[in-house]
Amino acid sequence: MIVENHRIAYRNVASKIYQFYPEEIHLAITDFDEILRKHGYRSNGNTFFSILSDPADEIMAVEIFLSVEESHFQIPEEENIFFRSYFSVYPMIMTRIVQHVEELSQVKYWELIEYMKNHNLKQRTPVFIDFKAAKSGKTYVEMSVGVKYSIITSDNESK
Domain boundaries, the chain: 3-149
Let me know: does 64 contact 28? Beta carbons within 8 Å.
Answer: yes
* pTM of the entire predicted model: 0.89
**In terms of C-beta density within 10 A (0-12 exposed, 13-18 middle, 19 or more buried), how is residue 51 classed?**
buried
* pLDDT tens string 82-120: 999 999 999 999 999 998 888 888 899 999 999 999 999
* pLDDT tens string 51-73: 999 888 999 999 999 999 999 99
Question: Is the pLDDT assigned to residue 156 strictly greater than 80?
Answer: no
Assigned CATH topology for domain 3-149: Multidrug-efflux Transporter 1 Regulator Bmrr; Chain A (3.20.80)
Instruction: Return the SS3 of 13.
Output: strand
